[in-house]
């Protein structure tokens, strides 16, 4: 039984902190699995890198958690942390899949905690105690148990044994031990490989032994930058003896990345392209892609120092190293690295190009429910699917933009469901899906300068700070009209690939601003498709293995007049009309709140994992809120007739809660369905400087806006959103605009 280091009370199980003081100390975690972490404790960590949704923190080598931006007490872009910085975080919990959720700690210095402990498995001890934990920790080098012939070495490098890092070496002739370099002390607690970044005369680069090797009389310490003279002399003495083992030209078998799980413990040779480089608090991580997949290769010089600084993203390289499994992920501990050029580099690039061509293009398109309208768009959808699959294979991030509507979220979720398994298959890292796929909902179905500026800012930060490739932008249900021209033009300045898939009206001018544009309007396909239905078939082409999980999504994406083919398809999969309505309403409600967030896990739970309770509960809230708003709006609708057309007019400033659910477009959709008592009928909701039009006739919103601008020339009337029937104007001319729009609508009937 141990005693609490703060209050002295007895602690069961040999711990050193009582239950009431768990949050008063900071822990150094020495475990190798997230399962060892204790919820609500504070841990010391090292900044691993940034993502748009937060910061990745290493709590131990290979044990990495996410500090989500929602947990910060400030904006993510205002953090001054750099990769390798020591930080303090609180563990909220560990999920079933091993993901670690972290919380912000206002305490960011040791002195702000009442104590510090080391947690190694179930053992806890103060940093200056030797508790005999695995690995032979020697935190107290003056201990009576440290009386060995290497005691002096231990005193110089207190943490060397804890990391299984050699603290001394002996030449091949059996001479006396000489002191290890000071750099090996700096490498304490790192179980990464140690290497060197010095190029030899034939252009190759050598690396030393791995940090996991147990010291023996034959161990040779190589590749540690700034090593002491004694260590350098040892290296020179044994160079000839060890050349066959450490030289990068040793005859190792070149293997494919996909075979590495079966080669753990072997030393292999890999050839491929550098996808990204990442500096951690310990080794440098090179992400290497070959024709079969992507893997991380760790190269170590000393903590936080860039190994092989001459290697850049896009280089063709050869790596020799040992295959290891780090906390469930495959990783290669680099022993030697060579930058390829000439014919060798061309061979690698040709191999990659051939693999891309073979794997990127889907074999064909099989529309869900055999939809003939979708089949007519087959070539365009196959082009879009190929672009998505190619981005995965090239390790380019994919950014999906979609409106914050039920239809938009269904479309975005369909792509997400298809792409994430491909990313997991392609990348050995378990958190790759967070790095290489992002959904960013837009509040309106227009890809405007605000959205584009946000995207460009993030992608340039990721490129410059994290060496990421420029992403593929997939815009579904947005970006197809001239109102998105400015945003698309900004993307094109940087040469990024943009794909637009939209079931609504698309303007021919958009073709010139994106790489791929799929729209029934441009293909002259006459059918009432939703974006969710169109993109669900696209997703099945991207990854046919998830096809069975997507079959109910088209029915969810329609608010009314759902085609029978999709109703039948959903029913056959176990989703009746009531269940489909619950899903639609639940997604619509969640789409409104925190509309700029993707809500990945929540949306997945609703659409794919929910047994019924979650969607039913949220749907009930949807109906209550909508009914309350409809009741208020209906009581204040003004009816009038103009040239035989019946109008329902609503002042949305006065008679709606503009900053609560439901949003104005959704409210007007439902209001129009309830009040349209025949044809011709139109509903107009007018606010301070914008209005929305709903009609039983197939109106051209652009023509209505253009005609209203002629009638009220001082109001600057213009189309603000084609998909949602939105028209903008100057607020001072509100009354004139209302009359002008009513007249313009009546003329079109």
228-258 tens-digit pLDDT? 343 344 334 433 333 333 344 557 889 999 9
Helices (H), strands (E): how many in the chain?
Answer: 21, 29
Residue 625 has pLDDT above 90, yes or no: yes
pLDDT digits (tens, 9 = 90+) for 704-735: 999 999 999 999 999 998 888 999 999 999 99
* pLDDT score recorded for residue 438: 95
Residue 566 has pLDDT above 50, yes or no: yes
Domain with CATH 3.10.310 in the chain: 636-748
* pLDDT score recorded for residue 612: 66
pLDDT digits (tens, 9 = 90+) for 478-506: 999 999 999 999 999 999 999 999 998 78
CATH topology for 369-618 is inorganic pyrophosphatase (n-terminal core) (3.90.1640)
pLDDT band at residue 628, thresholds of 50, 70 and 90? very high
Contacts of 72 (CB under 8 A, 6+ apart): 54, 79, 104
Domain with CATH 2.40.50.140 in the chain: 2-125, 164-352
Helix (H) or strand (E) holding 648, with range, is strand 645-651
Residue 347 has pLDDT above 50, yes or no: yes
Residue 176 has pLDDT above 50, yes or no: no
Superfamily of domain 2-125: Nucleic acid-binding proteins (2.40.50.140)
Give the C-alpha separation, 16 to 26, whole Å: 12
- Pick the closest to residue 474 from 448, 496, 505, 507 (CA basis): 496
Q: What is the mean pLDDT of residues 37-61?
A: 89
Average predicted confidence (pLDDT) for the chain: 82
Out of 177-186, 227-236, 303-312, the most confident range is 303-312
pLDDT band at residue 327, thresholds of 50, 70 and 90? low
Sign of CA dihedral 558, 562, 564, 567: positive
Beta strands in 53-204 (DSSP E): 54-60, 63-68, 86-94, 100-104, 115-120, 123-125, 168-169, 178-179
Out of 153-162, 546-555, 606-615, 715-724, the most confident range is 546-555
pLDDT band at residue 304, thresholds of 50, 70 and 90? confident
Q: What is the pTM of this model?
A: 0.63
Rounded to 10 deg, the angle between the 449-466 and 485-493 helix axes is 20
- Give the residues across from 91 on adjacent strands: 102
Residue 187 has pLDDT above 50, yes or no: no
CATH topology for 636-748 is Diaminopimelate Epimerase; Chain A, domain 1 (3.10.310)
Phi-psi region of 150 (alpha: psi -120 to 50; beta: other; left: phi over 0): alpha
Identify the three-state secondary structure at position 310: coil
Residue bearing the bigger pLDDT, 33 or 589: 589
* pLDDT score recorded for residue 623: 96
Q: What is the mean pLDDT of residues 379-405?
A: 94
* pLDDT score recorded for residue 631: 94
Structure tokens of 688? 């301070």
Residue 169 has pLDDT above 50, yes or no: no
Residue bearing the bigger pLDDT, 350 or 282: 350
Residue bearing the bigger pLDDT, 624 or 139: 624
Phi-psi region of 487 (alpha: psi -120 to 50; beta: other; left: phi over 0): alpha
CB atoms within 10 A of CB 97: 7
Domain with CATH 3.90.1640.30 in the chain: 369-618
Helix (H) or strand (E) holding 456, with range, is helix 449-466
The b/e string for 460-485 (b: 16+ C-beta within 10 A; e otherwise) is eebeeebbbbbbbbbbbbbbbbbbbb
Superfamily of domain 164-352: Nucleic acid-binding proteins (2.40.50.140)
Give the C-alpha separation, 599 to 440, whole Å: 10
């Amino acid at each position: 039984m141990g005693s609490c280091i703060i209050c002295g009370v007895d602690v069961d199980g040999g711990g050193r902190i009582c239950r009431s003081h768990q949050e008063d100390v900071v822990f150094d975690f020495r475990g190798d699995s997230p399962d060892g972490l204790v919820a609500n404790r504070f841990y010391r960590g090292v900044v691993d890198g940034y993502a748009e949704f937060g910061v990745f923190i290493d709590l131990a080598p290979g044990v990495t958690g996410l500090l989500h931006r929602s947990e910060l007490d400030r904006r993510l872009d205002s953090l001054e942390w750099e990769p390798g910085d020591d930080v303090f975080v609180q563990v909220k919990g560990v999920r079933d899949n091993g993901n670690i959720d972290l919380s912000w700690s206002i305490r960011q210095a040791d002195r702000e905690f009442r104590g510090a402990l080391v947690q190694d498995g179930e053992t806890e001890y103060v940093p200056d105690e030797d508790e005999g934990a695995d690995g032979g920790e020697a935190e107290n080098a003056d201990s009576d148990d440290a009386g060995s012939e290497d005691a002096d070495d231990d005193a110089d490098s207190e943490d060397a044994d804890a990391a299984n890092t050699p603290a001394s070496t002996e030449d091949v002739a059996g001479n006396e031990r000489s002191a290890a370099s000071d750099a090996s002390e700096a490498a304490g607690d790192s179980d990464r490989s140690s290497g060197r970044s010095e190029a030899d005369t034939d252009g190759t680069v050598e690396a030393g032994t791995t940090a996991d090797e147990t010291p023996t009389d034959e161990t040779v310490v190589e590749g540690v930058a700034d090593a002491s003279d004694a260590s350098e002399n040892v290296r020179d003495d044994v160079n000839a003896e060890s050349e066959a083992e450490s030289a990068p030209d040793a005859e190792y078998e070149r293997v494919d990345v996909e075979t590495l799980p079966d080669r753990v413990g072997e030393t292999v040779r890999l050839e491929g392209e550098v996808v990204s480089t990442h500096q951690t608090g310990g080794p440098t991580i090179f992400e290497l892609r070959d024709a079969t997949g992507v893997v991380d290769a760790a190269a170590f010089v000393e903590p936080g120092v860039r190994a092989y600084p001459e290697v850049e993203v896009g280089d063709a390289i050869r790596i020799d190293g040992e295959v290891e499994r780090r906390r469930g992920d495959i990783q290669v501990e680099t022993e030697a690295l060579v930058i390829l050029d000439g014919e060798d580099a061309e061979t690698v690039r040709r191999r990659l190009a051939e693999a891309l061509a073979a794997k990127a293009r889907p074999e064909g398109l099989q529309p869900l429910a055999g939809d003939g309208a979708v089949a007519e768009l087959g070539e365009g959808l196959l082009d879009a699917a190929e672009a998505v699959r190619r981005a995965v294979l090239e390790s380019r991030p994919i950014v999906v933009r979609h409106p914050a509507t039920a239809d938009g979220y269904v479309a975005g979720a369909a792509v997400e469901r298809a792409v994430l398994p491909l990313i997991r298959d392609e990348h050995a890292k378990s958190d790759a899906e967070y790095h290489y796929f992002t959904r960013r909902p837009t509040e309106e179905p227009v890809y405007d300068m605000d959205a584009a500026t946000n995207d460009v800012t993030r992608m340039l930060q990721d490129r410059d700070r994290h060496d990421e490739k420029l992403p593929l932008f997939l815009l579904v249900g947005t970006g197809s009209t001239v109102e998105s021209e400015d945003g698309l033009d900004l993307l094109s300045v940087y040469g990024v690939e943009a794909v637009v898939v939209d079931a609504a009206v698309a303007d021919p001018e958009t073709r010139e601003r994106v790489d791929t544009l799929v729209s029934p309007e441009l293909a002259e396909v006459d059918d009432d498709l939703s974006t969710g239905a169109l993109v669900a078939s696209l997703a099945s082409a991207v990854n046919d293995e998830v096809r069975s999980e997507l079959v109910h999504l088209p029915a969810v994406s329609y608010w009314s007049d759902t085609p029978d083919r999709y109703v039948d398809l959903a029913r056959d999969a176990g989703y009746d009309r009531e269940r489909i309505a619950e899903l639609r309403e639940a997604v619509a409600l969640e789409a409104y709140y925190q509309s700029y967030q993707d809500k990945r896990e929540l949306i997945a739970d609703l659409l794919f994992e929910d047994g019924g309770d979650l969607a039913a509960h949220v749907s009930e809230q949807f109906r209550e809120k909508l009914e309350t708003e409809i009741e208020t709006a209906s009581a204040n609708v003004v009816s009038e007739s103009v040239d035989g057309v019946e109008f329902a007019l609503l002042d949305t400033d006065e008679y709606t809660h503009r900053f609560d659910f439901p949003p104005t477009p959704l409210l007007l959709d439902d209001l129009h369905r309830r009040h349209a008592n025949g044809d011709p009928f139109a509903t107009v909701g007018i606010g301070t400087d914008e209005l929305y039009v709903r009609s039983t006739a197939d109106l051209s919103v652009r023509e209505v806006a253009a005609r209203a601008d002629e009638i009220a020339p001082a109001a600057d009337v213009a189309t603000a959103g084609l998909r949602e029937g939105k028209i903008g104007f100057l607020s001072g001319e509100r009354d004139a605009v209302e009359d002008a729009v009513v007249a313009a609508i009546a003329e079109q009937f």
